[in-house]
Every structure is written in structure tokens, then in C-alpha cells.
């Protein structure tokens, strides 16, 4: 594993994202809609930096990756969403890869009557987009590698890492339980 973004860099990027969101939306009430499961860490850090009225809701999306690192069929679950009619909505996801997840969710939130839907991603992969939409707020542009940490997983492992790291071929070959236990101990470097 190779560290791409340290926890300090992530904190700085999220502070900037929060400023940009509030500059754009002003003090109007905002409904933050996070995409499970990858956005949990981002949502929790971001909402604590957003001043003004905020409410939070989560939807679930999966592109059936399983152990693969390429996307498959998209499965969405939005049954926990509140009424969005006339609301200012900020959709928050961990990463923009092909963009199919974000595109489908933005469409769905608009269909549910949101006054305006803005989208925010922590990471955007270079040269992978397969859709017309672009996220309104992007934390970091990264190379087209498979990354884990800060909410992002590979086969369920590594979401808890406080940094974002690029997986190397040896990490992908290992069994999930082995790889989950083999994350480098970065305590001395990051804190
Ligand atoms: P998209 O629909 O291709 O843009 O994929 C977006 C979703 O795929 C994200 O919400 C992630 O859950 C997942 N994903 C894409 N790239 C990565 C990665 O490098 N690491 C972990 N998850 C990823
Ligand atoms: Mg996701």
C-alpha cells in the first residue's frame, strides 16, 4: 500500500470543501445525503464543518464489485430519505470513478422534487468518467488507481484507515482477512 493522502491533507481538503459549499449555498437550510457505505467518514467530518441549518440522511448504493475493482450493475436503496420537495440537497460520495453512481442518484433526487441538487465527492479518478455530469465539489483529483481508507474499501476491508492509500498488486492478491490485517502501521508518520 502506498499513501496518497495523509489525514492532515484530508482534513485540510475537507475544510476547504465545507467553505466552498457554504459560499455556494449560503445560510439556506441544507439536506446532506450521504452514500453508504463509503461516505460515512467524509459525511461525519464534513457536516461538523458546515455552519447553518443542516439535516443529514443516507442512501445506499452498490455497483456489485465483490472482490473485483471494476464496476458492475448498480443497486440503489433510497427508502430512508425524507421528503425532499423544495429542498436544497447536497449529495456526498467518497469517490467519482465512472460517475454512474452519482449520475443515477442526482437524477433520482431531482425526481423526488429537490429544488436544487449539488454533488460533492472527496476523490475523483483521472480519466475514468463515463457520464456527462461532473461533481460540483471535488476534494482531490487522483490517478486512476484503486484506493482504500477514509471510508473506501476493498472487499469490505480498510474503510477504517485514517488516510487514503493506493492498493498495490500484492494487496489485491491477498485474501481479505490477510489483507485487512496487513495495513501498514502509520502511527509514527501521521500523528
Ligand atoms: P462509479 O459509479 O464508477 O463512479 O463508482 C463509484 C463507487 O464505486 C464509489 O461510491 C465507490 O463505492 C466505488 N469505488 C470506485 N472506485 C473505488 C476505489 O478506488 N476504491 C474503493 N471504492 C471505489
Ligand atoms: Mg460508494
How far is the C-alpha of 97 from the C-alpha of 84, rounded, in Å? 26
User: Does 148 map to a domain?
Assistant: no
Does 189 map to a domain? Answer: no
Cβ of 37 closer than 6 Å to ligand 1, yes or no, is no
Tell me the per-residue pLDDT of 163-182, one tens digit each, with 9 for 90 and over. 999 998 888 776 455 544 44
Residue 158 lies in a domain: no
Report pLDDT digits (tens) over 102-123: 999 999 999 999 999 999 999 9
Name the pairing type of β-strands 54-62 and 75-77. Answer: antiparallel
Range of the domain at 46: 8-141
Let me know if residue 22 belongs to a domain.
Answer: yes
Closest protein CA for atom 22 of ligand 1: 152
- Ligand of minimum distance to the alpha carbon of 102: 1
Count Cβ atoms within 10 A of the Cβ of residue 60 and give its class: 0-12 exposed, 13-18 middle, 19 or more buried.
Answer: middle
Kindly report the CATH number assigned to the domain that includes residue 71. Answer: 3.40.50.2020
Q: Give the containing element (helix H, strand E) for 9.
A: helix 7-25
Overall number of domains in the chain: 1
Is the dihedral angle over the CA atoms 156, 72, 75, 164 positive or is it negative? Answer: positive
Whether 141 sits among the annotated catalytic residues: the reply is no
Residue 95 within a domain: yes
Q: Is ligand 1 within 6 A of the CB of residue 9?
A: no
Residue 99 within any structural domain of the chain: yes
Q: Which residues contact 86 (CB under 8 A, 6 or more apart)?
A: 113, 114, 115
Ligand 1 atom nearest residue 99's Cα: 4
User: Ligand 1 center to residue 28 CA distance, Å?
Assistant: 30
pTM (predicted TM-score):
0.88
pLDDT in tens, 37-95: 999 999 999 999 998 899 999 999 998 665 566 666 899 999 999 999 999 999 999 99
State if residue 137 touches ligand 1 by the CB under 6 angstroms criterion.
Answer: no
In a domain, 73, yes or no: yes
Ligand 2 centroid to residue 129 C-alpha, Å = 15
Strand ranges, E, within the chain: 2-5, 30-36, 54-62, 75-77, 88-96, 116-125, 137-142, 147-148, 164-166
Amino acid at each position: 500500500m502506498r499513501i496518497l493522502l495523509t489525514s492532515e491533507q484530508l482534513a485540510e481538503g475537507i475544510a476547504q470543501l465545507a467553505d466552498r459549499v457554504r459560499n455556494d449555498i449560503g445560510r439556506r437550510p441544507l439536506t446532506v445525503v450521504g452514500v453508504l457505505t463509503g461516505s460515512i467518514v467524509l459525511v461525519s467530518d464534513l457536516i461538523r464543518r458546515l455552519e447553518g441549518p443542516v439535516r443529514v440522511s443516507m442512501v445506499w448504493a452498490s455497483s456489485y464489485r465483490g472482490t473485483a475493482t471494476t464496476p458492475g450493475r448498480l443497486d440503489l436503496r433510497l427508502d430512508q430519505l425524507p421528503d425532499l420537495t423544495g429542498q436544497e440537497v447536497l449529495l456526498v460520495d467518497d469517490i467519482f470513478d465512472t460517475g454512474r453512481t452519482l449520475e443515477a442518484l442526482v437524477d433520482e433526487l431531482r425526481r423526488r422534487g429537490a429544488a436544487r441538487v449539488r454533488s460533492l465527492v472527496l476523490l475523483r479518478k483521472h480519466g475514468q468518467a463515463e457520464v456527462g455530469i461532473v461533481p460540483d465539489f471535488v476534494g482531490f483529483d487522483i490517478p486512476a488507481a484503486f484506493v482504500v481508507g477514509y471510508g473506501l474499501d476493498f472487499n469490505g476491508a480498510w474503510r477504517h484507515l485514517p488516510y487514503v492509500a493506493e492498493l498495490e498488486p500484492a494487496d489485491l492478491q491477498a485474501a481479505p482477512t490477510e489483507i485487512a490485517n496487513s495495513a501498514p502501521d502509520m502511527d509514527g508518520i501521521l500523528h
